[in-house]
Amino acid sequence: MTTGAVEADAVLLTHGAGTDRDHHTLVALDVALQPRVVLRHDLPYRRARRHFPDRMPVLVADLVDAVHSLCATAGVTPDRVLLGGRSLGGRVCSVAVAEGLPAAGLLLISYPLHPPKQPDRRRDAHLPAIAVPVLAISGTRDPFGTPEELDDAFATVPGPLTRHLVIGGRHELDRHDDEIIAAVAAWLRPASPTG
Protein backbone atom coordinates (compact mmCIF):
# COMPACT_ATOMS: atom_id res chain seq x y z
CA MET A 1 0.00 0.00 0.00
CA THR A 2 1.26 3.48 -0.83
CA THR A 3 2.28 5.52 2.19
CA GLY A 4 -0.13 8.35 2.88
CA ALA A 5 -2.78 6.94 0.55
CA VAL A 6 -5.70 6.77 2.97
CA GLU A 7 -7.99 9.80 2.94
CA ALA A 8 -10.38 10.77 5.72
CA ASP A 9 -12.24 13.98 6.50
CA ALA A 10 -13.37 12.96 9.99
CA VAL A 11 -12.24 10.51 12.65
CA LEU A 12 -14.04 8.54 15.35
CA LEU A 13 -11.86 7.04 18.08
CA THR A 14 -12.95 4.64 20.79
CA HIS A 15 -11.29 3.40 23.95
CA GLY A 16 -10.17 0.13 25.47
CA ALA A 17 -12.28 -1.84 27.93
CA GLY A 18 -10.76 -0.33 31.06
CA THR A 19 -10.38 3.28 29.93
CA ASP A 20 -12.47 6.03 28.35
CA ARG A 21 -12.39 8.72 25.68
CA ASP A 22 -9.75 10.66 27.63
CA HIS A 23 -7.08 7.97 27.32
CA HIS A 24 -3.78 9.73 26.58
CA THR A 25 -3.28 8.03 23.21
CA LEU A 26 -6.73 9.07 21.98
CA VAL A 27 -6.17 12.63 23.19
CA ALA A 28 -2.78 12.77 21.45
CA LEU A 29 -4.32 11.45 18.22
CA ASP A 30 -7.15 13.97 18.48
CA VAL A 31 -4.62 16.82 18.49
CA ALA A 32 -2.43 15.27 15.78
CA LEU A 33 -5.30 14.59 13.38
CA GLN A 34 -6.50 18.20 13.22
CA PRO A 35 -7.86 19.95 11.19
CA ARG A 36 -10.09 16.92 10.63
CA VAL A 37 -13.19 16.69 12.78
CA VAL A 38 -12.34 14.18 15.53
CA LEU A 39 -14.78 12.53 17.92
CA ARG A 40 -13.41 10.63 20.91
CA HIS A 41 -16.37 8.42 21.73
CA ASP A 42 -17.26 6.81 25.06
CA LEU A 43 -18.96 3.45 24.61
CA PRO A 44 -22.35 3.09 26.37
CA TYR A 45 -21.14 1.29 29.50
CA ARG A 46 -18.68 4.11 30.15
CA ARG A 47 -21.35 6.76 29.66
CA ALA A 48 -23.44 4.84 32.21
CA ARG A 49 -20.42 4.73 34.57
CA ARG A 50 -20.31 0.94 34.50
CA HIS A 51 -17.05 -1.03 34.53
CA PHE A 52 -17.96 -3.97 32.31
CA PRO A 53 -18.54 -3.63 28.57
CA ASP A 54 -21.88 -4.34 26.97
CA ARG A 55 -22.22 -7.25 24.56
CA MET A 56 -20.81 -6.69 21.08
CA PRO A 57 -24.17 -6.09 19.30
CA VAL A 58 -24.94 -3.25 21.74
CA LEU A 59 -21.48 -1.73 21.26
CA VAL A 60 -21.69 -1.96 17.47
CA ALA A 61 -25.17 -0.40 17.35
CA ASP A 62 -23.97 2.45 19.55
CA LEU A 63 -20.92 2.99 17.33
CA VAL A 64 -23.06 3.09 14.18
CA ASP A 65 -25.26 5.75 15.81
CA ALA A 66 -22.17 7.75 16.79
CA VAL A 67 -20.81 7.60 13.22
CA HIS A 68 -24.09 8.88 11.79
CA SER A 69 -24.13 11.70 14.35
CA LEU A 70 -20.52 12.60 13.51
CA CYS A 71 -21.36 12.59 9.79
CA ALA A 72 -24.25 15.00 10.37
CA THR A 73 -22.03 17.31 12.42
CA ALA A 74 -19.06 17.20 10.05
CA GLY A 75 -21.07 17.21 6.83
CA VAL A 76 -19.45 14.03 5.51
CA THR A 77 -20.54 10.56 4.52
CA PRO A 78 -19.49 7.45 6.52
CA ASP A 79 -17.02 6.41 3.84
CA ARG A 80 -15.01 9.56 4.63
CA VAL A 81 -14.71 8.69 8.34
CA LEU A 82 -11.66 6.92 9.75
CA LEU A 83 -12.76 4.54 12.52
CA GLY A 84 -10.50 3.20 15.18
CA GLY A 85 -9.41 2.88 18.71
CA ARG A 86 -7.53 0.98 21.31
CA SER A 87 -8.10 -2.69 22.07
CA LEU A 88 -11.85 -3.23 22.56
CA GLY A 89 -12.64 0.05 20.79
CA GLY A 90 -10.76 -1.02 17.69
CA ARG A 91 -12.43 -4.42 17.79
CA VAL A 92 -15.89 -2.79 17.92
CA CYS A 93 -14.98 -0.63 14.91
CA SER A 94 -13.72 -3.65 12.98
CA VAL A 95 -16.88 -5.66 13.67
CA ALA A 96 -19.04 -2.70 12.61
CA VAL A 97 -17.16 -2.40 9.32
CA ALA A 98 -17.30 -6.16 8.76
CA GLU A 99 -21.06 -5.95 9.25
CA GLY A 100 -21.37 -3.29 6.56
CA LEU A 101 -20.64 0.13 8.08
CA PRO A 102 -18.75 2.16 5.44
CA ALA A 103 -15.45 3.73 6.52
CA ALA A 104 -12.42 5.43 5.02
CA GLY A 105 -10.24 2.99 6.95
CA LEU A 106 -9.65 1.26 10.27
CA LEU A 107 -7.02 2.17 12.86
CA LEU A 108 -6.54 -0.77 15.23
CA ILE A 109 -4.24 -0.07 18.18
CA SER A 110 -3.41 -3.09 20.35
CA TYR A 111 -6.05 -5.27 18.72
CA PRO A 112 -7.15 -7.84 21.36
CA LEU A 113 -6.87 -11.01 19.28
CA HIS A 114 -7.43 -13.24 22.30
CA PRO A 115 -7.50 -12.96 26.11
CA PRO A 116 -4.06 -13.28 27.73
CA LYS A 117 -2.92 -16.92 27.98
CA GLN A 118 -5.97 -18.08 25.97
CA PRO A 119 -4.74 -18.15 22.36
CA ASP A 120 -7.51 -20.57 21.39
CA ARG A 121 -10.19 -17.90 22.03
CA ARG A 122 -9.47 -15.83 18.93
CA ARG A 123 -11.56 -12.82 17.93
CA ASP A 124 -10.85 -12.80 14.23
CA ALA A 125 -13.76 -14.56 12.50
CA HIS A 126 -15.01 -11.24 11.09
CA LEU A 127 -11.69 -10.04 9.67
CA PRO A 128 -12.15 -11.61 6.18
CA ALA A 129 -15.16 -9.30 5.68
CA ILE A 130 -13.07 -6.11 6.00
CA ALA A 131 -12.26 -4.54 2.63
CA VAL A 132 -11.22 -1.04 3.77
CA PRO A 133 -7.58 -0.06 4.44
CA VAL A 134 -6.38 -1.14 7.89
CA LEU A 135 -3.49 0.16 10.00
CA ALA A 136 -2.79 -2.27 12.85
CA ILE A 137 -0.38 -1.07 15.53
CA SER A 138 0.70 -3.44 18.28
CA GLY A 139 3.51 -4.09 20.70
CA THR A 140 5.88 -7.00 20.33
CA ARG A 141 5.19 -8.03 23.96
CA ASP A 142 1.38 -7.78 23.88
CA PRO A 143 -0.19 -10.73 25.77
CA PHE A 144 -3.42 -10.25 23.76
CA GLY A 145 -1.63 -11.41 20.59
CA THR A 146 1.95 -12.06 19.54
CA PRO A 147 3.22 -10.48 16.33
CA GLU A 148 3.06 -13.89 14.66
CA GLU A 149 -0.52 -14.52 15.82
CA LEU A 150 -1.62 -11.08 14.67
CA ASP A 151 0.15 -11.47 11.32
CA ASP A 152 -1.74 -14.73 10.82
CA ALA A 153 -5.08 -13.15 11.74
CA PHE A 154 -4.62 -9.97 9.70
CA ALA A 155 -3.51 -11.98 6.67
CA THR A 156 -7.21 -12.84 6.23
CA VAL A 157 -8.13 -9.15 5.70
CA PRO A 158 -8.74 -8.68 1.96
CA GLY A 159 -8.36 -4.89 2.12
CA PRO A 160 -5.02 -3.04 2.11
CA LEU A 161 -3.17 -3.79 5.37
CA THR A 162 -0.35 -1.88 7.03
CA ARG A 163 1.26 -3.28 10.20
CA HIS A 164 3.40 -1.32 12.64
CA LEU A 165 5.18 -3.08 15.49
CA VAL A 166 6.22 -1.18 18.58
CA ILE A 167 9.39 -2.93 19.70
CA GLY A 168 9.13 -3.93 23.36
CA GLY A 169 5.61 -2.52 23.64
CA ARG A 170 3.02 -4.23 25.77
CA HIS A 171 -0.76 -3.99 25.38
CA GLU A 172 -1.02 -0.52 26.95
CA LEU A 173 1.70 0.95 24.68
CA ASP A 174 2.45 3.49 27.39
CA ARG A 175 5.00 6.14 26.41
CA HIS A 176 4.64 5.29 22.72
CA ASP A 177 2.17 7.99 21.65
CA ASP A 178 4.72 9.76 19.45
CA GLU A 179 5.48 6.53 17.58
CA ILE A 180 1.78 5.79 17.14
CA ILE A 181 1.12 9.29 15.81
CA ALA A 182 4.04 9.00 13.38
CA ALA A 183 2.72 5.68 12.05
CA VAL A 184 -0.77 7.12 11.57
CA ALA A 185 0.61 10.25 9.89
CA ALA A 186 2.62 8.14 7.44
CA TRP A 187 -0.48 6.07 6.59
CA LEU A 188 -2.95 8.95 6.13
CA ARG A 189 -2.94 11.51 3.37
CA PRO A 190 -2.41 14.95 4.95
CA ALA A 191 -5.64 16.76 5.82
CA SER A 192 -6.62 19.78 3.81
CA PRO A 193 -6.82 23.03 5.83
CA THR A 194 -10.57 23.12 5.24
CA GLY A 195 -11.00 19.51 6.49
Round to whole Å and give the CA distance between 185 and 87.
Answer: 20
CATH 3.40.50.300 fits 10-187, yes or no: no
What is the pLDDT confidence band of residue 2, given thresholds at 50, 70 and 90? very low
pLDDT at 195 over 90: no
pLDDT, one tens digit per residue, over 54-85 is 999 999 999 999 999 999 999 999 999 999 99
Q: If DSSP codes are grouped into helix, strand and coil, which group holds residue 11? A: strand
Round to whole Å and give the CA distance between 147 and 110.
Answer: 11
Number of neighbours of residue 28 by Cβ within 10 angstroms: 14
| pLDDT score at 191 | 82
What is the pLDDT confidence band of residue 154, given thresholds at 50, 70 and 90? very high
Domain ranges of the chain: 10-187
Q: Please state, in angstroms and as integers, the Cα–Cα distance from residue 41 to each residue in 38, 45, 66, 89, following that order.
A: 9, 12, 8, 9
* Strand 161-166 to 10-14 pairing: unpaired
